[in-house]
A = this chain, B = another copy of it.
Amino acid sequence: MALKSDIEIAQEARPLPITAIAEACGVDEAYLEQYGRYKAKIDNRFLKETARPDGRLVLVTAITPTPAGEGKTTTTVGLADGLRKIGKNAVVALREPSLGPVFGIKGGAAGGGYAQVIPMEDINLHFTGDFHAIGAANNLLAAMLDNHIQQGNALGIDPKQITWRRCVDMNDRQLRNIVDGLGGRMQGVPREDGFDITVASEVMAVLCLASDIPDLKARLGRIIVGYTYAGAPVTAHDLKAEGAMAALLKDALKPNLVQTLEHTPALIHGGPFANIAHGCNSVTATRMALKLGDYAITEAGFGADLGAEKFLDIKCRMAGLKPDAVVLVATVRALKHHGGAAKADLGREDLAALERGLPNLLQHVDNIKNVFGLPCVVAVNAFPTDTAAELQLVEDKCRELGVRVALSEVWAKGGEGGRALAEEVVRLCGQPSDFRYSYDLDGSIEDKLEAICRRVYRADGVALTPAAKKQAQRLTELGFGGLPICMAKTQYSFSDDPALLGAPRGFTVTVRNLKVSAGAGFLVALTGDIMTMPGLPKVPAAEKIDVDEDGRISGLF
């Protein structure tokens, strides 16, 4: 029997009407705005008006990513379905996929196999229009900024110190670096400019951290778009832009309700970059999931050093959230990759490579347990090539740290394959925990960087380039020294060198650039060049995507 593709499985599913999903999790129709038959937005008034207590918050994170793949979203979806199988009321909260990469090499991004959210075509294409709204708000601010300069520049904005870029939800390398405003004095002011992909816009991070419309407007107003000739920051509020931007975003702020293949409610909402931003779904969606489910299962981008650290140090701190348990996803294949096995050999038993790679998993586990003080389980996302001896080795090593391992077979079996993981998650949620951040906000910028690098990455320390040192001083003078730090570092290593796999030691992290996302409310520390506008590959996935006369889409995978 040929294996079915994700889209084939998704299209064979029989989704329930979204009204039935909403009703089953107790959302009155008055709060529901349908988008077609299988998608809806839930009004954020629900959060204020419901009397329900919060459920348990479970974070799904992963080992350091490898080309072998880990299956974090798949595990998140399957865990929620598994909790339902053992009689628990679970709800998923996930990020929305970005449109651009769908046409590149990525295909779909809504779980996989029998652990998916549906309708996957819609979720991967425009969904409910949130990202388009974010793009419009971003680009309205850009148009108002350049129009201000064109119309006399009363604020004295220096065109050479503009930091706000335009955006588009498309992989379009041609727009990375441009010169615009060409063509004469009525056609704008010639200057260097560029586009980011929409998920890299600060508006995305703002939307995902905002608790309601007033908070959204306040954050939008604080966004810094550039500096005056005198060096003072210019904000969206100075341009009187935040009201119209918020008007564009009023519906995008409402979480989107869909369902898994097994009819578990899923809130899919927001999707900021996980390097220059914090990489998790919106605060409103997480809060909504806590109200709708006794267990709210959510995920964070990249490995736990980046995704979980930001989820805990930034999002949980800002939103006053406290996780009850953490699931760390690993695969035997990926651990062997961390142990130096070649890609072609990952399907063969190799206990030595596995043992060499295991410290990566163990350092993440240790961080969750001992740096952040949270109960943790390791979910091994099963592959047919995993051997009993390999699985035993993972289990033995984790037991030494007091952490159990659950085999997850949700890709092949759906919720049924997530029962063991679900049982352990329920057990952990009953355990005492001692949640703490990896750094305090009241230290200096350098102190905070040092804390993350030493405690989470296990670096010998952090070095700021002279430029970064100056930026730290300037940002402190401007009053931003008390913000949390968003590390923009390679996701492929605990260190800032993507070649250092496993659990490297004896390295120093170099911070080359520090900037403030004043609307989002964090400082971004860049350790190298971060690509904020992807390109298309030689043969884009778009060439294979099609739609038939009945509107059925093919070529997403």
Q: Are B547 and A99 in contact (CB under 8 A)?
A: no
Min CB distance A286 to B, Å, is: 20
A140-B103, A536-B144 as given contacts; A213 in contact with B547, CB under 8 Å: yes
1/0 contact trace for A34-46 toward B, CB 8 Å?
Answer: 1111000100010
A33 at the interface (CB under 8 A from B): yes
Q: How many chain copies?
A: 2
A549 at the interface (CB under 8 A from B): yes
Within 8 A of B (CB), among A238-257: 240-241, 243-244, 246-248, 250-251
A174-B189, A549-B212 as given contacts; A140 in contact with B542, CB under 8 Å: yes
Within 8 A of B (CB), among A211-264: 212-214, 217, 240-241, 243-244, 246-248, 250-251
A179 at the interface (CB under 8 A from B): yes
A290 at the interface (CB under 8 A from B): no
Q: Are A178 and B178 in contact (CB under 8 A)?
A: yes
Min CB distance A206 to B, Å, is: 15
A180 at the interface (CB under 8 A from B): yes
| Distance between Cα atoms of A143 and B551 in the complex (Å) | 24
Min CB distance A257 to B, Å, is: 13
Residue of B nearest to A38 (CB): B33
| Distance between Cα atoms of A188 and B176 in the complex (Å) | 8
A33-B37, A126-B132, A546-B246 as given contacts; A179 in contact with B178, CB under 8 Å: yes
A20 at the interface (CB under 8 A from B): no
Min CB distance A108 to B, Å, is: 12
A476 at the interface (CB under 8 A from B): no
| Distance between Cα atoms of A174 and B190 in the complex (Å) | 8
| CB-defined contacts of A324 to chain B, threshold 8 Å | none
Given contacts A147-B540, A217-B547, 4 further A-B contacts (CB under 8 A): A132-B132, A143-B170, A214-B549, A244-B542
Give the 5 A-B residue pairs with the shortest CB-CB distance, closest first: A243-B546, A132-B132, A177-B183, A244-B542, A174-B188
